[in-house]
Structure 1
Amino acid sequence: MTLYDAVGGAPALLALAADFHARCLADPVLEHPFSHTTNPEHVQRLADYWGEVFGGPPVYSTAYGGHSAMLGLHASQGAEDDLGDRFVACFAAAVDGVRLTSDPAVRAALVAYMRWATDEVMTYSPMGSRVPAGLPVPRWDLDGLHR
């Protein structure tokens, strides 16, 4: 079973993305970058991306350019050092807030993914960073990263 299936698929991930986004807007550090997200489809795209990472259909890659495109949106932003920790904390709180899973192994895998993903995004944060084209969307399951 994929993490996508374990959490309830697209509807559950959309609820997670909405809760997570609201939590980020309420955070004094994360609010600034999240308040500048002018795309009205941001929450849906976030849910689509996570769905693909967790074993669901390749909606994000098909419609929005995949992993390199996602990293490119976040690259060269000069993010504050504690942004990553705050991001992961908001994600973990959102997982619990929407009651995404009662399985501790699934929750641990989700939070481990977000820690890994946040660390990857932060490597592209320094001003002038460039993202290589064609990076595959990572796949994450109970055992961690599979490329």
Structure 2
Amino acid sequence: MSVYEAAGGAPAMLALATDFHARCLADPVLEHPFSHTGNPEHVRRLADYWGEVFGGPPVYSATHGGHSAMLGLHANMGAEDDLGDRFVACFVAALDGAGLPAEPRLRAALTGYIRWATDEVMAYSPADARVPARLATPRWDFAGLRA
């Protein structure tokens, strides 16, 4: 069973993205970048991205440009030092808020991913960072990063 399936599939990813986005908007540091996404489909795209990463269908890559496109949206922002920690905290709280199963192995996989992903995104935060083209969307399972 994939992390995507164990979490509850597409409905769970959408609930997670919705709760997470609301938490970020309520955070004094995360509010600014999250209130300026410029895309009314941000929550749906986030759900599609996480779904794909966790073993669901490749909706994000097929319709939104894949991993390089996602990193490009977040690159060169000059993010504050504690933005990553706040991002992770909002995600972890959203797991409960969205009603995802509290099964420890699932929670460890989800939390491990968001920590890894946050570090990757933050690495592209400097103004001179360059995102390589055509990076494969990562796949995350119960053992961690697969590809």
TM-score bin (small chain): over 0.9
Structure-1 separation of matches of 2:11 and 2:99: 13
Question: After superposition, what is the alpha-carbon deviation per residue over 1:34-53, rounded to whole angstroms, capped at 9, x for unaligned?
Answer: 01112000000000000000
1:139 aligns to what? 139
1:25 aligns to what? 25
**TM-score if structure 1 supplies the norm length?**
0.99
2:87 aligns to what? 87
Aligned residue for 1:130, secondary structure, equals: coil
Gaps of 5+ in 1: none
Paired AA for residue 43 in structure 1: V
1:123 aligns to what? 123
**TM-score if structure 2 supplies the norm length?**
0.99
2:54 aligns to what? 54
2:71 aligns to what? 71
Gaps of 5+ in 2: none
1:109 aligns to what? 109
Aligned residue for 2:28, secondary structure, equals: coil
Aligned residue for 1:48, secondary structure, equals: helix
Structure-2 separation of matches of 1:44 and 1:37: 13
Question: After superposition, what is the alpha-carbon deviation per residue over 1:69-125, rounded to whole angstroms, capped at 9, x for unaligned?
Answer: 000000000000100000000000000111211201101110110000000000000
Aligned residue for 1:50, secondary structure, equals: helix
CA RMSD of aligned residues (A): 0.6
Q: Does 1:2 align with 2:5?
A: no
Q: When the two structures are aligned, how many residues end up with a matched partner?
A: 147
Paired AA for residue 137 in structure 1: T
Aligned residue for 2:130, secondary structure, equals: coil
